[in-house]
């Protein structure tokens, strides 16, 4: 590929040829031929400098969005000739499209800016990368000898949630003269799992009401598999001999076994609204990223409290359920979630409720644009409780502004569409750019045992 300097050189050579023809000056033909020869040599040199090069990429298998990532590149020269002024460009794994060729464009700066930066000592070390968050990382190799292998390290920033595989790496050269430029592309085997970031919650009122039973009336104990002693009953065929209560057996003359109370475990189900398509200039991917951070924060709190967590979404029109055995598994599932769902929140809830565990807290994380999109239902979800976590792109749309302002929820309350369902625990609102910890620890509407105060 020819650069601007190359085109200028071609134009200058043509001008010398025309002048030489008109003036019959042989030395002008010689000078024009020299310039064209230099251009051809530079073109061939830059082409050979990016050939027969190999690279391996080493990085941690998992990362958290927004946090820096240590990347190591092992570059090897497969040829015998040395390579000079070679640029190694590691593409952005989060980029939606990667070009077949790479072109390094330098930023134009005035002489005053260059002088000021030089006096301030702001020049980078040779080979050091100044990678902008979310862009490609460019590393300079002044010289790479034949059959030599070097290791380059840098820190990458600006990662966003997702799973990325085999993103390209470019070798770029402009040759010694800088009159032409060539690049080659390879795809080192790589896999990076970027988990959504989350906040450590000190409380989550919707789940706390179910986790701590002493805040409510204690249910009647029932028999089952647990650790607490329930009573003694007669032996039945199939009972393990280890449960025989020998003192009662000796007193009654018949075998008696011990019984235990059934353990009551609070379950948490998180339903995400992963519909595709942009809404109100809010991209579907950005909308889903915020929901993933909300779900990860709630799941982390539930796992710390010892509650099993179920994650749910849609793959097109098909429900997808994931029983997460731990926080890392939940974060991995959230990282792989794509905005490819089709049903609206009401259809999502109706389709997934039969598949979700009963007697659980169902947190439905969704983005709505009008009160009519709220998934009201007349029947409780199989004995479970329901909480709505609404996400919005508007900055400053906190819980107080929504309840006391003109938001869709306030409009819904004034229209009286009426009362919230009895099984609704409450509503929390999380705006993009807001403090998730504050939004989740202090929900705007709590319906546990009472109606909204304004009604």
Q: What DSSP assignment string belongs to 379-437?
A: S-STT-EEEEEEEES-TT--HHHHHHSSSHHHHHHHHT--PPPTTEEEEEEEETTS-HH
Task: Specify the pLDDT at position 217.
Answer: 37
DSSP, collapsed to helix, strand or coil, labels residue 234 as strand
Pick from 1, 19, 13: nearest CA to 38: 13
Task: Specify the pLDDT at position 321.
Answer: 94
**Lowest-confidence region among 172-176, 200-204, 216-220, 352-356:** 216-220
Give the architecture-level CATH label for domain 1-101+125-195: Sandwich (2.60)
Q: Is the pLDDT of residue 249 over 60?
A: yes
Task: Specify the pLDDT at position 115.
Answer: 52
Q: 3, exposed or middle or buried, with CB in 10 Å at 0-12, 13-18, 19+?
A: middle
Binned at pLDDT 50, 70 and 90, residue 199 comes out as: very high
Q: Mean pLDDT over residues 200-227, rounded?
A: 62
Q: Is the pLDDT of residue 166 over 50?
A: yes
What are 170's two structure tokens? 């470019």
Of residues 3 and 155, more confidently modeled: 155
Q: Is the pLDDT of residue 114 over 70?
A: no
Binned at pLDDT 50, 70 and 90, residue 107 comes out as: low
Q: What is d(CA 300, CA 293) in angstroms, rounded to the nearest whole number? A: 11
Q: Is the pLDDT of residue 379 over 70?
A: no
Domain with CATH 3.40.50 in the chain: 265-446
Which of 3.40.50, 1.20.120, 2.60.40, 3.30.1380 would CATH assign to domain 265-446? 3.40.50
The strand pairing partners of 69, in sequence order, are 156
Give the other-Cβ count within 10 Å of 57's Cβ.
19
Task: Specify the pLDDT at position 405.
Answer: 38
Of residues 120 and 129, more confidently modeled: 120
Q: Is the pLDDT of residue 5 over 80?
A: no
Q: Is the pLDDT of residue 47 over 70?
A: yes
Among 47-51, 352-356, 428-432, name the most confident range. 47-51
Q: Mean pLDDT over residues 372-382, rounded?
A: 65
Q: Is the pLDDT of residue 56 over 50?
A: yes
DSSP, collapsed to helix, strand or coil, labels residue 191 as strand
| % the chain with pLDDT above 70 | 75
Q: What is d(CA 135, CA 157) in angstroms, rounded to the nearest whole number? A: 9
Task: Specify the pLDDT at position 116.
Answer: 59
Pick from 86, 87, 90, 85: nearest CA to 72: 90
Q: 414, exposed or middle or buried, with CB in 10 Å at 0-12, 13-18, 19+?
A: exposed
pLDDT tens, 177-192? 888 889 999 999 999 9
Binned at pLDDT 50, 70 and 90, residue 103 comes out as: confident
Of residues 325 and 432, more confidently modeled: 325
Q: Mean pLDDT over residues 74-82, rounded?
A: 94
Domain with CATH 2.60.40.10 in the chain: 1-101+125-195
Mean pLDDT (the chain, rounded): 80
pLDDT tens, 292-313? 999 999 999 999 988 999 999 9
Q: What is d(CA 175, CA 45) in angstroms, rounded to the nearest whole number? A: 6
Q: Is the pLDDT of residue 137 over 80?
A: yes
Task: Specify the pLDDT at position 406.
Answer: 38
Of residues 173 and 280, more confidently modeled: 173
| Alpha helices, DSSP H, located in 229-283 | 246-252
């Amino acid at each position: 590929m020819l650069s601007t300097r190359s085109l200028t050189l071609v134009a200058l050579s043509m001008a010398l040829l025309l002048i030489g023809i008109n003036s019959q000056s042989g030395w002008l033909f010689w000078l024009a031929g020299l310039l064209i020869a230099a251009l051809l040599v530079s073109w061939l040199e830059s082409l050979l400098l990016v050939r027969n090069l190999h690279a391996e990429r080493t990085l941690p298998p998992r990362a958290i969005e927004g946090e820096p990532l240590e990347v190591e590149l092992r570059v090897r020269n497969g040829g015998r000739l040395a390579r000079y002024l070679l640029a190694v460009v590691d593409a952005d794994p989060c980029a939606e499209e990667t070009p077949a060729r790479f072109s390094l464009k330098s930023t134009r700066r005035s002489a005053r800016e260059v002088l000021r930066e030089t006096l301030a000592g702001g020049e980078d070390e040779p080979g050091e990368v100044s990678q902008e968050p979310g862009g490609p990382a460019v590393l300079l190799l002044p010289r790479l000898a034949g059959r030599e292998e070097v290791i380059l390290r840098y820190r990458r920033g600006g990662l966003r949630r997702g799973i990325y595989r085999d993103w390209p790496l470019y070798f770029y050269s402009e040759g010694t003269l800088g009159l032409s430029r060539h690049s080659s592309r390879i795809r080192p085997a790589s896999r990076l799992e970027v988990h959504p970031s989350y906040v450590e919650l000190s409380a989550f009122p919707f789940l706390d009401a179910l986790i701590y039973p002493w805040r409510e009336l204690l249910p009647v104990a029932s028999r089952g598999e647990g650790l607490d002693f329930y009573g003694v009953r007669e032996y039945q065929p199939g009972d393990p001999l280890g449960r025989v209560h020998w003192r009662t057996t000796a007193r009654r003359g018949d075998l008696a076994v011990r019984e235990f109370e059934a353990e009551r475990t609070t379950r948490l189900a998180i339903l995400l609204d992963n519909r595709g398509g942009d809404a109100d200039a809010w991209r579907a991917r950005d909308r889903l990223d915020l929901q993933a951070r909300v779900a990860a924060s709630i799941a982390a709190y539930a796992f710390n409290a010892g509650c099993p967590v179920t994650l749910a979404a849609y793959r097109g029109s098909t429900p997808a359920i994931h029983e997460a055995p731990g926080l890392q598994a939940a974060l991995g599932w959230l990282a792989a979630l794509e905005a490819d769902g089709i049903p609206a929140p009401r259809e999502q809830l109706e389709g997934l409720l039969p598949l979700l565990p009963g007697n659980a807290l169902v947190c439905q994380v969704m983005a709505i644009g009008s009160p009519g999109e709220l998934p009201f239902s007349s029947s409780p979800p199989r004995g479970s409780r329901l909480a709505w976590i609404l996400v919005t792109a508007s900055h400053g749309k906190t819980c107080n502004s929504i309840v006391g302002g003109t938001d869709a929820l306030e409009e819904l309350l004034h229209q009286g569409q009426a009362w919230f369902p009895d099984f609704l625990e409450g509503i929390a609102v999380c705006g993009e750019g807001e403090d998730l910890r504050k939004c989740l620890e202090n929900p705007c509407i709590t319906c546990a045992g009472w109606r909204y105060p304004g009604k």
